[in-house]
Amino acid sequence: MKFKTLKDFPSDFLWGASTSAYQVEGAWNEDGKGPSVIDTSMHRPEGVTDFTVASDHYHRYAEDVELFSELGLKAYRFSIAWTRIIPDGDGQVNEAGVAFYHRLIDELLAKGIEPIVTMYHFDLPAALDDRGGWSERSTIDAFVRYARILFDEYGSKVRYWLTINEQNMMILHGRAIGTTGRSGDAPEKVIYQQNHHMFLAQARAMALCHDLLPEAKIGPAPNIVSVYPATCSPEDVIAADDWDAVRNLLYLDLAVRGSYHPLAWGYLSERGWEPEILDGDLEVLEAGRPDFIAFNYYSTQTVGASTGDSSDLQLRGGDQQIVRGEVGFYRAVKNEHLPTNAFGWEIDPVGLRTTMRRLWDRYRLPLIITENGLGAFDELVDGRVHDDYRIDYLRRHIEQIHLAISDGVGIFGYCPWTAIDLISTHQGISKRYGFVFVDRTEDELRELARVKKDSFFWYQELISSNGSTLNP
Ligand code: BGP
């Protein structure tokens, strides 16, 4: 639909930005922090930096929050490292780790920035992984205990909680992002059992949050893409629906409705990959209901009906955003209408509007975008970073949010990835997303100086006008 007049962004819209603990903090083994599966993972290619220092936010958080305040952020979405709070995942609480997040949250609140906290962003404690990780039901109990500690500690300060970041990407692309830990290439049967356990952990955490913190709001945070059929052939439409069910709706239906999506369940059981469901599990899933849906959006995916052979597969695939294809299930297709970024991710701002409309239509829960952004090889030249390509990317996505608001979609915030440069999941510091440049390379830490990019000033103006400078 084309509108003559667009609705305004809500006056309390949460203009934000995102990071995650292991990608930004560094200090990987300081002040009692235990190792996570990310710290022990070997998923990075040769020559790509590790996460030990990252952007050194652990030591520079005050300076960073000062920059976020200057940027005008209304919200900051970050994650808490489970291994700072409980170094081995389910043992003793590490008071120094607890204190760090109090300091960070207090600093944000002092600047009027709403903290949006992800409880678990890929960094499962390695000690839990050594004992079987998500394959074991004891990890569910460990997560719920961790959640209780977070609610008790920070519940009076934090209103918005996100349970598990991109559970669907951990299941579908765990190797690329380094979250598979010890289980490495576990068979799908095991992976989908782990998935089931994460759903139970999430549901129990949501129920606990509502019990302990009636004022707080909590939701899941999957990575969601709209799936397009390659053509209007009915077979392609069926393939698109099938892949949508397995990639997206499985995760959303479990979180919101507490039940397995029938197409996804059919996919699992036909392959013998369905998880074992114990007595009481369905009640637990049913009892955990979110207050909103947070989702990360980078792209859309296009698929066709399976040809039944290896031509279903797209060889450039292999990470979170590039559709891979599955022989006998769906065929990966390159969408010829969309440009790609330097890393092969298709760029589709209109797809964001479609995705928001579909989510709103299906679940009628308030939405917040907790990641969206452009990874690029930024360059620092004479103390400036001219990232007009990022401004263009963000502007075109925010325009679509504006349209979706006019469509009647309920959305309360936008937190692009990232507030400040950090280490990519598997492509190091060279793939940058931030509004603030961090001066370091893969192998040279330099001074880690912070430099405001051109996009910083652009977003600052946009926030201060509550979106009205979008189309001057
Ligand atoms: C999401 C993750 C983030 C992040 C982002 C960009 O999947 O939630 O942690 O890194 O993607 O991905 P990448 O770092 O691979 O470019």
Residue 4 maps to a domain: no
470 domain-assigned = no
Q: What is the pLDDT of residue 180?
A: 84
Residue 317 has pLDDT above 70, yes or no: no
Mutate to test the pocket of ligand 1, among 169, 322, 424, 432 (most ligand atoms within 8 A of CB): 424
pLDDT of residue 315: 67
- Which of the listed residues 116, 322, 425, 426 should we mutate to test ligand 1's pocket, taking the one with most ligand atoms within 8 A of CB? 425
| 455 close to ligand 1 (CB < 6 Angstrom) | no
Q: Is 417 in the pocket of ligand 1 (CB under 6 A)?
A: yes
Model confidence pLDDT, tens digit, residues 205-263: 999 999 999 999 999 999 999 999 999 999 999 999 999 999 999 999 999 999 999 99
**Alpha-carbon radius of gyration of the chain:** 21
Give the residue numbers spanning the domain of 131.
Answer: 14-464
* pLDDT at residue 314 in the model: 82
284 domain-assigned: yes
CATH number, residue 291: 3.20.20.80
- Element of type H or E holding 459: helix 454-464
DSSP assignment of 58-114: HHHHHHHHHHHHHHT-SEEEEE--HHHHSTTSSS---HHHHHHHHHHHHHHHHTTPE
The burial of 339, by beta-carbon neighbours within 10 Å (0-12 exposed, 13-18 middle, 19 or more buried), is given as: exposed
The structural domain count of the chain equals 1
Alpha carbon separation from 156 to 77, 94, 152, 217 (Å, rounded): 17, 20, 8, 12
| CA-based torsion, 463, 376, 18, 191: positive or negative | positive
Banded model confidence at residue 81, pLDDT cuts 50, 70, 90: very high
Asked whether the predicted pLDDT for residue 471 surpasses 90, the reply is no
Q: Tell me if 128 is assigned to some domain.
A: yes
Looking at the annotation, which residues are catalytic?
Answer: 166, 371
Q: Give domain status of residue 1, yes or no.
A: no
Q: How far is the CA of 455 from the centre of ligand 1 (A)?
A: 19
Kindly give, in sequence order, each residue whose CB lies less than 8 Å from that of residue 183, ignoring residues fewer than 6 positions away. Answer: 129, 133, 135, 190, 191, 194
pLDDT score of 472 = 63
Taking CA 107 as the corner, what is the angle to CA 102 and CA 109, rounded to the nearest 5 degrees?
95
Residue 370, in any domain of the structure: yes
Model pLDDT, residue 239: 98
Give the per-residue pLDDT at 43.
65
- 324 in a structural domain: yes
Ligand 1 atom having least distance to the Cα of 375: 16
357-379 mean pLDDT: 98
Q: Could you read off the pLDDT of 258-313 as tens digits, one per residue?
A: 999 999 999 999 999 999 999 999 999 999 999 999 999 999 999 999 999 999 99
Kindly state if the Cβ of 375 falls inside 6 Å of ligand 1.
Answer: yes
472 domain residue, yes or no: no
Note whether 205 and 288 are within 8 A (CB): yes
Q: Could you tell me the pTM of the whole model?
A: 0.97
Percent of the chain topping pLDDT 70 = 99
pLDDT at res. 176: 84
**What confidence tens digit (pLDDT) does each residue in 161-195 have?**
999 999 999 999 998 888 887 777 789 999 999 99
